[in-house]
Structure formats: C-alpha cells, structure tokens
C-alpha cells in the first residue's frame, strides 16, 4: 500500500499542481473548488488545511463527509476525483459521503 502525505497536494496554491491532480478540471470548476474550500474552513472555524489532516477525530470525520457531499453534489466531482484531492481511496470518500447522508437524514428514502 502506498504511503500518503498528511497534506493533500490540492490544497497547494500551485495551480499547475492542482491541474495535475484534476486533469479534467476547467478553470471555473477549480476556482469554485477553492472558493468552497475557503468558505467551508471559515464557516466551520477550521485552520487552513485542517480538513486534509489524517485525523480520525469525530468532528473532522463528519466535516470531511459534509465536504465530500458538497463536492459531489454542488461541483459534480466523482468519488475518485475527491479521493485524489484528499490522497485517500474513493471507497473512503464514499463512506464519508454516506455517513453524512445518514447522519443528516439525506439520500434515498425507502418507501413501504
């Protein structure tokens, strides 16, 4: 298994580095990602880059799940793309996404 950095390369301000990890991204999409990330950090009183730490503290786990949900639903990123942003497997992203849905009563509603 590969070693993973504690800080994602996408949090970098280096635009070329961001483009390397999101080859399909358009300039506007990348800008929206950066704006969403900055607003999310501000709104949740997080330090810069704190969302990308490998911490398993419940608060950060839930906030990451919420951010995954926002990236997927608001900006249209796939689980694989989000995983590359955070240097984690896409199934981990999917788990966080689903955890956020369940915790907040979102997602598919089963009818009886």
Domain containing residue 16: CATH number: 1.10.1750
- Confidence check: pLDDT of 24 > 60: no
Mean pLDDT of 5-27: 49
Full residue range of the structural domain in which residue 23 is found: 9-103
20-24, 86-90, 93-97: least confident range: 20-24
- Confidence check: pLDDT of 13 > 70: no
Rounded to whole angstroms, the Cα distance separating 72 from 74 reads: 6
- pTM equals 0.72
| Domains: count for the chain | 1
108 lies in a domain? no
Map residue 4 onto helix, strand or coil.
coil
pLDDT of residue 27: 62
Q: What is the mean pLDDT of the chain?
A: 79
82 lies in a domain? yes
pLDDT of residue 107: 74
1 lies in a domain? no
92 lies in a domain? yes
Contacts of 87 (CB under 8 A, 6+ apart): 4, 5, 8, 9, 52
């Amino acid at each position: 298994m590969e070693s993973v950095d504690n800080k994602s390369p996408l949090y970098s301000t280096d635009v070329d580095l961001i483009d390397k990890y999101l080859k399909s991204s358009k300039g506007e999409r990348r800008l929206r990602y950066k704006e969403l990330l900055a607003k999310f950090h501000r709104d949740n009183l997080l330090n810069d880059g704190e969302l990308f730490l490998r911490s398993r503290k419940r608060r950060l786990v839930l906030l990451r799940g919420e951010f995954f949900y926002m990236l997927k639903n608001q900006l249209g990123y796939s689980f694989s793309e989000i995983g590359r942003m955070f240097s984690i497997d896409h199934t981990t992203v999917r788990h966080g996404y689903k955890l956020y849905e369940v915790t907040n009563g979102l997602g598919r509603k089963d009818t009886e």
